[in-house]
Structure 1
Amino acid sequence: MNDTTTPSIEHFAELLDTCAREARELPQIDPENRLGLDEAYAIQAASIRRRIARGERRVGVKMGFTSRAKMLQMGLSDVIWGRLSSSMQVEEGTAIDFSRFVHPRCEPELAFVLKKPLAGDVTGPEALAAVEAIAPALEIIDSRYQDFKFTLPEVIADNASSSAFVVGPWSDPRRVDFGNLGLTLNIDGRVAQVGSTAALLGHPLRSLVAAARLSAAAGEPLQAGWIVMAGGATPAEWIRPGQYVSVEMEKLGQAGFHLKG
């Protein structure tokens, strides 16, 4: 997309940022699938820079398509990733206004918080050594595209559909074997999805290793204090005003939020 008649990276970034901020949908920006992945990530980065310019802070990274089946379905050989900013973090147990979103869904995740920087090609043990704590978490995904219809580059440009996240109590990762923890996604106390942390590339640490590699390649290495959302451990569920959404994770506890209309 480099001819003179094509809208610029900044144009798409402004469009997606405005729609995310105003919680309104827009038509696909690249229905003919002409965007390359590098261009899509450039749009995402430019969109997040607009948030930072408004006073938000970078607080971490989210990983996407961490299911092997989903990667195969999308024709991918690698995961995708997005950026987390301070306005996206919601205090556990509080209420989120539905008006923040267009057509939100929620998925249960494992979250890491780092105690030191982590960058480049690292091993699982090296990644674990950089982790301060782990926690059960929820991510609200909310594509800004009409009818939740998009190409792979479009979803990357739209910050991998990430909109908000909630993190539960932190635990010492050296005291819990978190490679295969059972979990449930619950809506109003009823189980909506059942899964395991093993769904995250076979072990959540592999997701953190990928985050270190991809973020460093983009010139934004993982920093101490950053949160890394390891990816959805089950299919996402549609959520609606009035619901209480929670994750219950073996050995790590629970996290939840109310969705008010």
Structure 2
Amino acid sequence: MADVHALAAALDEATRDVRAIPKLTGRTPLDVATAYAVQRAGIERRRRRGERLAGVKMGFTSRAKMVQMGVDDVIWGLLTDGMAAGPSVDVSRLVHPRIEPEIAYLIGREVRSAAEVESAVAGVAVGFEVLDSRYEDFAFTLPDVIADNASAARFGVGAWHAPRDLSNAGLLLEIDGRPVQTGSSAAILGDPARSLRAAARLALGAGMTLEPGWIVLAGAATAAVPLPKDAHVRVVGAGLGAVEVTT
């Protein structure tokens, strides 16, 4: 049987030491349920250091990624306030930093069922997520990436706007003024609202509720791209303004 706390410690230490490690499944059998237990144990280590839960991030929200990984459902990870990027991201503290544009939802009240999550949204925004797999060569299986908190590293959001239909909002990712990715929010399960409902469903299934003030990152609207040092990144969402970050 996998030692959940030892595996969580290995990932946590790799994160803090900025060091890639072999994937966990290379040393021990790991199923999805145990991988989520490792993920939660890793988050608990962060909480013991003073970080607070700040929301949920969704992964595998494109059909192509599901097919690639051989799954038929999304995955999720947890965000803490220690992952909030602010105006800059120190990429020297990350192993394999990559960035992707996101649609973000602000939860306004406690969500007790997936059916009510949309009515609980207090705001929407354009955002970004910085991914950072802690595994060598950015290579992993499904349980590995779940255990690694779905590769969560940093995140940021722009100004909040009143809730609205975001089923086909254009998104642009620029690095140093050059467009590097363009896409539509429709790439997120056909409508990011579906990802929002999945976030509530998965959280409730794990015995958690989405809390007031939490952020849900609905998933990538484009492929993630490497995040270089000394760069200026700008993500623009149609009708949502922009969010910027430097490295």
TM-score normalized with structure 2 length:
0.97
Q: In the aligned structure 1, how far is the partner of 2:21 from the partner of 2:148?
A: 11
Structure 2 CA distance for partners of 1:76 and 1:33, relative to 1, 3 Å:
farther
Query: In structure 2, what is the equivalent of residue 236 of structure 1?
Result: 224
Is 1:34 equivalent to 2:20 in the alignment? no
Deviations 1:108-156 (A, max 9, x none): 000001111113442xxx3221000000000000000011111110010
Contact 1:33/1:151 (<8 A) preserved: no
Is 1:55 equivalent to 2:43 in the alignment? no
Q: In the aligned structure 2, how far is the partner of 1:99 from the partner of 1:234?
A: 24
Alignment of 1:180-199 (within 5 A): 180-199=168-187
Q: What is the aligned counterpart of 2:148 among 153, 158, 180? A: 158
% identity of equivalent residues:
49
Q: In the aligned structure 1, how far is the partner of 2:184 from the partner of 2:112?
A: 27
Query: In structure 1, what is the equivalent of residue 213 of structure 2?
Result: 225
Query: In structure 2, what is the equivalent of residue 109 of structure 1?
Result: 102
Query: In structure 1, what is the equivalent of residue 111 of structure 2?
Result: 118
1:33, CA displacement in angstroms? 7.4
Contact 1:120/1:217 (<8 A) preserved: no
The SS at the match of 1:35 is coil
Query: In structure 1, what is the equivalent of residue 7 of structure 2?
Result: 12
Is 1:71 equivalent to 2:59 in the alignment? no
The SS at the match of 2:71 is coil
Q: In the aligned structure 2, how far is the partner of 1:32 from the partner of 1:142?
A: 21
1:12, CA displacement in angstroms? 0.3
Query: In structure 2, what is the equivalent of residue 139 of structure 1?
Result: 129
Greater displacement, 68-77 / 134-143 = 68-77
1:184, CA displacement in angstroms? 0.8
The count of aligned residue pairs is: 247
Query: In structure 2, what is the equivalent of residue 177 of structure 1?
Result: 165
Q: What is the aligned counterpart of 1:46 among 41, 47, 55? A: 41
1:22, CA displacement in angstroms? 2.2
Q: In the aligned structure 2, how far is the partner of 1:59 from the partner of 1:227?
A: 6
Q: In the aligned structure 1, how far is the partner of 2:221 from the partner of 2:88?
A: 23
The SS at the match of 2:213 is coil
Q: In the aligned structure 2, how far is the partner of 1:48 from the partner of 1:119?
A: 22
1:179, CA displacement in angstroms? 1.2
Q: In the aligned structure 1, how far is the partner of 2:68 from the partner of 2:28?
A: 17
Query: In structure 2, what is the equivalent of residue 257 of structure 1?
Result: 245
Q: Which amino acid aligns with 1:169?
A: A
TM-score normalized with structure 1 length:
0.92
1:20, CA displacement in angstroms? 1.2
Unaligned runs of 5+ in 2: none
Contact 1:127/1:205 (<8 A) preserved: no
Q: In the aligned structure 2, how far is the partner of 1:110 from the partner of 1:33?
A: 35
Contact 1:168/1:253 (<8 A) preserved: yes
The list of structure 1 runs, each at least 4 consecutive aligned residues, that deviate by more than 3 angstroms after superposition, is none
Q: In the aligned structure 1, how far is the partner of 2:191 from the partner of 2:28?
A: 32
Q: What is the aligned counterpart of 1:22 among 17, 22, 34? A: 17
Unaligned runs of 5+ in 1: none
The SS at the match of 1:96 is coil
The SS at the match of 1:231 is strand
Contact 1:31/1:151 (<8 A) preserved: no
